[in-house]
Chain A
């Protein structure tokens, strides 16, 4: 929670002002009833209509002032709270996008997103809805007690007989309802997850006739949620009537005590009546606080989880003395690189040199380190040992983003952002003109894909590109990389879902548009690999073989086995 105070910076004065406003508001609420007492005792009892008129006028003025102050309080606290929330949310997001891929590969996407959304929302609820209630209640409760004591200290003491059971009741309620609400949230989350999974995988559910089994699972979760919700409602159904009952008891206690005092002439009838209503002002903040208490607890829990992300140190960042990279030639030197995700090294001392403008193909079985090596070149990870250098400069010493802007990366299962096909191509270079976009689209054959879709290049892409086939998404992401005009191009199985003639089209476009650029290709097809200047076979994190295609085929090595496997087809 202390982190949150940081975001209050520059607003301390406003916050202090709001507390004053809250005090004023509470004074108006309680003061109004004290005025009613004066009206009864000084006006009605003494049969003084002028006095009565004056007091009623003052009473109305006080109410108007209270109205005004409360409006300021609601708006003002929301302003402070939301500024804090915005600061927190932006900081969290900025921090996250700066974390390395290693972090994202360790955490589930859904988990991270929940921190940015539902957790920040929980904090926001506390600050914008909870805060006004909290501040007013915390101020109002003592004010009401004070007003009661001012009205008559003996009647005021009745409060101290009623408040302890009220507090016990409220504490019991906040505790039990909190536990119940947490459980309810878990149950509904399970129901939601079940529906989400079924909807996302409906094709398979239906294809395998799994409807009945899924229905049965759902019914069980749905029933559990129903039972739990009903239990939670039961607790709520007990609490509010209980408070009502306590209120009646308090009223009786005041009437009882008041009658005795009145008989001795110790209090006036006005004081007695006023005490009845001031007592209600004591109960109201208690009820409100019990509402806020739950919010506070979830807010605090959310803040703990948010802090866990904010405390995460970015493992890959620009060194303090990092230099922006000038326009590079693209000479790439991978020097005795060792790398492990966990304990087991994935790369065990790999050295490869690609001259500027060269084309390197990496081949080998999955899981032997090809993609990892490509990611080291993109500096998504830093090597544990050895170095990756571009134009002789160690990547760890260059300004990260200036380097990445010289890269073009295409992955096997490319991610498309929501928006149009054109906006996805433009992603890497937002300032590109429509002509440039159309040109690269045509160069790699996206235009043919777009022609079949309504709106052409302005066709809206749905959630992660789900309306498009795997091959079509790959085409779009290749266009995206081409438009970025990279100095180094990384194609990680970028054409695996694309038919060979289209791939040839793409290769020609690459040759034309990226002449003289350095490229790294990871591919399964031998025909794709063939155009590389050098082919490197990676086996268990080491270079098993390297050379040109002919050269490698001539040797009795892993490459020939690979090629034979294909020829056997």
Chain B
């Protein structure tokens, strides 16, 4: 199969273009950035001066005793205090840049998420979308907030210390640098090896989370079929995989970290041996001897840091490349160039030769024609998988048809501004989505300024009033993930009331009462009819009792309307509709 660019899954952006984009973000924080760089330079200068002062102090004040010691000590302490300030400001400034850019990128991603089309969410799992705006941003933050300036400081430090060492004794500097190349190599190799493993550890932990999640959410099924041992084995396997990966990580650490810790000993030994002989020969003072040791020890961390930073840079660029690909490559639903307005008053709905398919799959709707008069209530019926939900999802323009057009109030949905269209079309989805907020806030989500009496009327029509008194705080009860759990039927009724509150002129109901028991449903259907009066309604359903709310029923089979008419007439006609509901009606 030839690769084709998926409009909701664009390829990642390359390293160089990603780096340019990150630099542009950094440029936005350039004031802090330059403060950081300037202080990094100051830090390097002070850090090479202090060992020099110590050398002078040892040689002149301690060994030869030709000068007083205290001026040296005071100077060292003064420089040490200045360095404290410089180091603090450098760290604080750069860390702030990292955090600000992280927050900025998260904000850009989130506001993009709000604009992305449904197709995007069909394609990407929730966890992936979530982690791109959370965990994936951390390497970027650390790279910009630490790595970038720390890397430059490391280079400055290495250059500064080398210059001092060479000036003091070039040959000794060469001997004692013996441990530096292996440290650099080891640090780079460690960073390169450990990061794929630590990423693997994260992945394995993700597997454990997934296994735990499934077992806990699906516990009833697990226990019902007595399959506890299976899931335990599965979970144990994933947990063992985590252990094995962590141990492999420990293996890599065991092979590299002690080396990084003990390799400097090689340089110390070189100083003691070669430097010692120089001292014996009178070519080197004892103070210079100490200077060598001190500076060499000071070089270890910058060299190690370079390893970490190259690695961090790669991870940051890779993850920023993915984020920028989404930010730039995914088009929200196009807004019309010359938007038209929906007419005043009740809105008719019309599907004209509509074809529709989910990305790359077979057609779900095939040349479907359907006209719904303003104020008419139409029930959309059909066997499981006949395209009912797809048909309804075209109305609020979750998707655009792949062929034909959808008209609301005589205007193509693509010619109206999305916000205006969605303001006119209220929707109740098959699986009701409520938010972690007060019941009151959930009800008015579609229209915040709704008159409270209207809300109460909607609650009565949708049957929310029947259970609201049982909630601990009535309409002010916190519901959802962080609050109390409503039953499936209760959630559906809240979703229904929410849609009614909006006052939308077109209402789309996708099997809105499937979790409500029959008696309650009967009562609701009776109350809903007047509540829906004057609005154009499409309602998908599997139940005859819900069909009863409609003026007309249409039957969908394989993406086409095969029957249309009054429910009673259709029952008598003995076609597909009668096959779907005949038995129920006869009860």
With A90-B239, A233-B96: A71-B255 Cβ-Cβ less than 8 Å: yes
B522 at the interface (CB under 8 A from A): yes
Closest 10 interchain pairs by CB? A78-B250, A248-B80, A63-B265, A70-B258, A526-B587, A404-B226, A471-B384, A237-B91, A233-B95, A409-B224
Contact with B along A190-225 (1 / 0, CB 8 A): 011101111111111111111101110011001101
Q: Is the CB of A500 within 8 A of B581?
A: yes
Q: How far is the CA of A68 from the CA of B255 in the complex (A)?
A: 9
Contact with A along B413-450 (1 / 0, CB 8 A): 00000010011011101110111100000000110100
Total A-B pairs, Cβ < 8 A: 458
B460 at the interface (CB under 8 A from A): no
Q: Is the CB of B258 within 8 A of A237?
A: no
Q: How far is the CA of A555 from the CA of B76 in the complex (A)?
A: 103
**What class of interface size applies to chain B in its complex with A?**
35 or more
Contact with A along B212-254 (1 / 0, CB 8 A): 1111111111111111101110011001101100110111011
Instruction: Note all chain A residues with C-beta closer than 8 A to B580.
Output: 499-501
A43 at the interface (CB under 8 A from B): yes
Pick from B73, B84, B216, B273: contact of A104, CB under 8 Å: B216
Q: Is the CB of A469 within 8 A of B385?
A: yes
Given contacts A203-B429, A248-B80, 15 further A-B contacts (CB under 8 A): A85-B243, A96-B216, A116-B212, A198-B113, A203-B427, A213-B448, A244-B83, A255-B69, A365-B517, A409-B225, A427-B221, A469-B385, A501-B580, A504-B583, A562-B518
Instruction: Note all chain A residues with C-beta closer than 8 A to B251.
Output: 75
Contact with A along B532-546 (1 / 0, CB 8 A): 000000000011110
Q: Is the CB of B99 within 8 A of A39?
A: no
In the complex, identify which listed stretch (A105-113, A286-294, A334-342, A388-396) lies at the interface while the others stay far away. Answer: A105-113
Q: Is the CB of B69 within 8 A of A259?
A: yes
Pick from A195, A418, A448: contact of B133, CB under 8 Å: A195
Contact with B along A218-239 (1 / 0, CB 8 A): 1100110110011001101110
In the complex, identify which listed stretch (A49-57, A172-180, A513-521) lies at the interface while the others stay far away. Answer: A49-57
Q: Which of B118, B240, B273, B502 has the most CB of A within 10 A?
A: B273
A420 at the interface (CB under 8 A from B): no
**What class of interface size applies to chain A in its complex with B?**
35 or more
B383 at the interface (CB under 8 A from A): yes
Return B44 CB to nearest CB of chain A, in Å.
14
With A233-B92, A255-B62: A70-B220 Cβ-Cβ less than 8 Å: no
Q: Is the CB of A497 within 8 A of B384?
A: yes
Contact with A along B561-587 (1 / 0, CB 8 A): 000000000000000000111111111
B30 at the interface (CB under 8 A from A): no
Instruction: Note all chain A residues with C-beta closer than 8 A to B419.
Output: 209
| Cβ < 8 Å to B, chain A residues 505-532 | 524-527, 530
Q: Is the CB of A462 within 8 A of B125?
A: yes
Pick from B57, B83, B269, B489: contact of A241, CB under 8 Å: B83
| Cβ < 8 Å to B, chain A residues 80-122 | 82-83, 85-86, 89-90, 93-94, 96-98, 101, 104, 108-110, 112-113, 116-117, 121
Q: Is the CB of B227 within 8 A of A207?
A: no
Contact with A along B2-13 (1 / 0, CB 8 A): 000000000000
Pick from A52, A71, A206: contact of B277, CB under 8 Å: A52
B361 at the interface (CB under 8 A from A): yes
Q: Is the CB of A71 within 8 A of B254?
A: yes
B454 at the interface (CB under 8 A from A): no
Residue of B nearest to A127 (CB): B246
Return A226 CB to nearest CB of chain B, in Å.
4
- List 10 contacting pairs A-B, 8 Å CB cutoff, sorted by A: A52-B272, A82-B243, A82-B246, A201-B434, A241-B91, A245-B84, A404-B224, A500-B542, A500-B582, A565-B518
Pick from A49, A117, A563: contact of B212, CB under 8 Å: A117
Instruction: Note all chain A residues with C-beta closer than 8 A to B114.
Output: 198, 202, 205-206, 211, 214-215
Q: How far is the CA of A94 from the CA of B579 in the complex (A)?
A: 48
Q: How far is the CA of A566 from the CA of B519 in the complex (A)?
A: 8
B266 at the interface (CB under 8 A from A): yes
In the complex, identify which listed stretch (B14-22, B104-112, B342-350) lies at the interface while the others stay far away. Answer: B104-112
B458 at the interface (CB under 8 A from A): no
Q: How far is the CA of A448 from the CA of B77 in the complex (A)?
A: 82
Q: How far is the CA of A52 from the CA of B73 in the complex (A)?
A: 31
B302 at the interface (CB under 8 A from A): no
Q: Is the CB of B481 within 8 A of A197?
A: yes
Q: Is the CB of B224 within 8 A of A407?
A: yes
With A67-B259, A218-B107, A244-B87: A469-B384 Cβ-Cβ less than 8 Å: yes
Return A103 CB to nearest CB of chain B, in Å.
9
Q: Is the CB of B383 within 8 A of A501?
A: yes
Q: Is the CB of A44 within 8 A of B107?
A: no
| Cβ < 8 Å to B, chain A residues 379-421 | 380, 400-405, 407-409, 411-415, 417-418
A557 at the interface (CB under 8 A from B): no
A271 at the interface (CB under 8 A from B): no
Instruction: Note all chain A residues with C-beta closer than 8 A to B362.
Output: 452
Q: Which of A193, A244, A364 has the most CB of B within 10 A?
A: A244
Q: How far is the CA of A418 from the CA of B254 in the complex (A)?
A: 37
Residue of A nearest to B427 (CB): A207
Instruction: Note all chain A residues with C-beta closer than 8 A to B262.
Output: 63-64, 66-67, 70
A378 at the interface (CB under 8 A from B): yes
Residue of A nearest to B467 (CB): A367
Instruction: Note all chain A residues with C-beta closer than 8 A to B517.
Output: 364-366, 524
In the complex, identify which listed stretch (B162-170, B306-314, B508-516) lies at the interface while the others stay far away. Answer: B508-516
Contact with B along A117-148 (1 / 0, CB 8 A): 10001001000100000000000000000000
Pick from B221, B481, B498: contact of A108, CB under 8 Å: B481
Q: Is the CB of A113 within 8 A of B213?
A: yes
A470 at the interface (CB under 8 A from B): yes
Q: Is the CB of A203 within 8 A of B398?
A: yes
In the complex, identify which listed stretch (A151-159, A272-280, A297-305) lies at the interface while the others stay far away. Answer: A272-280
Q: How far is the CA of A534 from the CA of B548 in the complex (A)?
A: 29
| Cβ < 8 Å to A, chain B residues 43-98 | 50, 54, 57-58, 61-63, 65, 69-70, 72-73, 76-77, 79-81, 83-85, 87-88, 91-92, 95-96
With A44-B280, A199-B126, A225-B103: A66-B396 Cβ-Cβ less than 8 Å: no
Pick from A259, A407, A452: contact of B61, CB under 8 Å: A259
Q: Is the CB of A245 within 8 A of B81?
A: yes
Q: Is the CB of A59 within 8 A of B280?
A: no
A541 at the interface (CB under 8 A from B): no
In the complex, identify which listed stretch (B150-158, B187-195, B203-211, B471-479) lies at the interface while the others stay far away. Answer: B203-211
Pick from A44, A75, A116, A411: contact of B276, CB under 8 Å: A44
A352 at the interface (CB under 8 A from B): no
Q: Is the CB of B515 within 8 A of A412?
A: yes
A498 at the interface (CB under 8 A from B): yes
Q: Is the CB of B80 within 8 A of A32?
A: no
Q: Is the CB of B423 within 8 A of A93?
A: no
Instruction: Note all chain B residues with C-beta closer than 8 A to A56.
Output: 269, 272-273, 276
Q: How far is the CA of A96 from the CA of B517 in the complex (A)?
A: 33
Q: How far is the CA of A378 from the CA of B361 in the complex (A)?
A: 41
With A230-B96, A258-B62: A199-B129 Cβ-Cβ less than 8 Å: yes
B497 at the interface (CB under 8 A from A): no
Q: Is the CB of B205 within 8 A of A117?
A: yes
B130 at the interface (CB under 8 A from A): yes
A79 at the interface (CB under 8 A from B): yes
Residue of A nearest to B116 (CB): A202
Q: Is the CB of A191 within 8 A of B134?
A: yes
Instruction: Note all chain A residues with C-beta closer than 8 A to B528.
Output: none
B184 at the interface (CB under 8 A from A): no
Instruction: Note all chain B residues with C-beta closer than 8 A to A104.
Output: 216, 219-220
Q: Is the CB of A238 within 8 A of B88?
A: yes
Instruction: Note all chain B residues with C-beta closer than 8 A to A479.
Output: none
Contact with B along A235-274 (1 / 0, CB 8 A): 0111011101100110110011011001100000100110
Q: Is the CB of A472 within 8 A of B422?
A: no
Q: How far is the CA of A501 from the CA of B242 in the complex (A)?
A: 48
Q: Which of B115, B216, B257 has the most CB of A within 10 A?
A: B216
Q: Is the CB of B226 within 8 A of A414?
A: no
